Amino acid sequence: MASAFLQSFDDVSAVLGGRPGKTSVPIHVVPKDQAKKWLASQNAVVKGWAKSIGFEPRYAKALLMPKRDGGLAGVLFVQPESASPFEWARLPGELPKGRYHLAGTFDAEHAEAAALGWALALYRFDRYKRKPIAPSKKLAWPEGADQGRVKRLVEATYLVRDLVNLPANDLGPGELETAAVSVAGAHGAAVRVVRGDELLSENYPAIHAVGRASSRAPRLIDLTWGDPKHPKVTLVGKGVCFDSGGLDLKPASNMLLMKKDMGGAAHVIALAHAVMDAKLPVRLRVLVAAVENSVSGDAFRPMDVLSSRKGLTIEVGNTDAEGRLILCDALADACDDHPDLLVDFATLTGAARVALGTELPALFCNDDTLAQQILDAGTEARDPLWRLPLWRDYDRFLDSKTADVSNTGSSGFGGAITAALFLQRFVSGGTPWAHIDLMAWNNDSRAGRPKGGEAMALRAFYRLLETRYGG
């Protein structure tokens, strides 16, 4: 299904699948309070080995159990305290190469977490390595796991990671379009793309202004799928494939991660795959504003006044606050369609990272009931978010003497809030809307979360849509 530059998308079956067999090693999953009793029932070789290495049962701790000839008889794995896939993701790192299956009894929630955690732990991004390493560990499907749900969530996560990890020389607006078209084609979705100067004639002037300086044409990617009679769900993604900062040029050190500035677009394309694969009863629309924020003689400038699709004029306080400029046209377009639910994903502000750190996405929402549903879904999916306020008093910071609104505002504080308030001006009042400001990147490696591109709040929103629309 995937394009050549999305190879990991098709790698799920290499690490997860099939049934237990005679050659697969059993992993005995035992609750912590039963682990010592379980060990005491094993043969002398296993008991002696556990004693000699000082094994003490702890949550998500593994013990390799030897045969008399030195081979691997099995594995004791102390069941994690929670059904977090990242707790289960500790398991593959404790094991040698081979085929495995889970033994023991546990509920469906843990079974799905085990399968998901296993696959997330074995993700790799090595396409630029001279000698890529083939997967060497595979887990049979745990009994009780919903294989379809796990597979689509793993595929969606791999897809986000691949897209974000790709360097900007191999992933520009055109390649991002190819990725969206590839996903759409697998599910029979329609795609319409508005490119280059067509953005002006089709009334997307802010997207055009941000992307016009690059030799790689800016574009709006518009994917639609599902029965028009079903509730309308629209996802909007920020697709800045590289952000130099424009004429307000970033320092070199601040450009090092700017290939990930299309992380919001990666999330909505991947979430769309999961929704379509599950055949959720929704009318899905995905809007991706794809640009490169470059420097040239045609670049937009500080203090320029830009037009927008909604008709509001925007004074440019800083060309490095470009993400909200491309999102505003896409959000206005989305609202023209009167969706039942509108969600945008964006790597929008450093201020959100200062407030919440790099691992906890910020949620802004104009509907308290919807916001609580999102937070609950994040808790259930072990994929949390934290709500920040759309604090109306800060709206005054966006005032401009020259235009209807400034893209940066007059205050250096509350930057994530003022960015969200800017976006809210382009959302029609009655549209239920959520804005996710996220990092889309792991700064270090932990079990199931390798350093590099990362899906954040993806499982939360899939859970929300499953619950809300009866999938």
Give me the active site residues, please.
Answer: 250, 324
How far, rounded to the nearest angstrom, does the alpha carbon of residue 22 sit from its chain's CA centroid?
A: 37
HEC sequence for 68-98: CCCCEEEEEEECCCCCCHHHHCCCHHHCCCE
Two tokens, residue 89: 């993701």
Q: How many CB atoms are closer than 10 A to CB 446?
A: 13
What gap in Å lies between CA 133 and CA 127, rounded to an integer? 10
Residue 291 CA: distances (Å) to CA of 169, 318, 351, 395, 440: 13, 17, 22, 27, 18
What gap in Å lies between CA 263 and CA 165, rounded to an integer? 10
Rounded to the nearest 10 degrees, the angle between the axes of helix 458-469 and helix 147-165 is: 140
Nearest to 156 by CA among 20, 49, 286: 286
User: Assign residue 453 a region: left if phi > 0, alpha if psi is -120 to 50, beta otherwise?
Assistant: beta
Nearest to 154 by CA among 345, 359, 17, 3: 17
Helices then strands, each counted (H, E), the chain: 16, 18
Nearest to 155 by CA among 128, 187, 121, 119: 119
Nearest to 370 by CA among 404, 343, 398: 343
Residue 103 DSSP code: E
What gap in Å lies between CA 125 and CA 262, rounded to an integer? 18
What gap in Å lies between CA 139 and CA 147, rounded to an integer? 13
Query: Phi/psi of residue 362, each to 5°?
Result: -90, 135
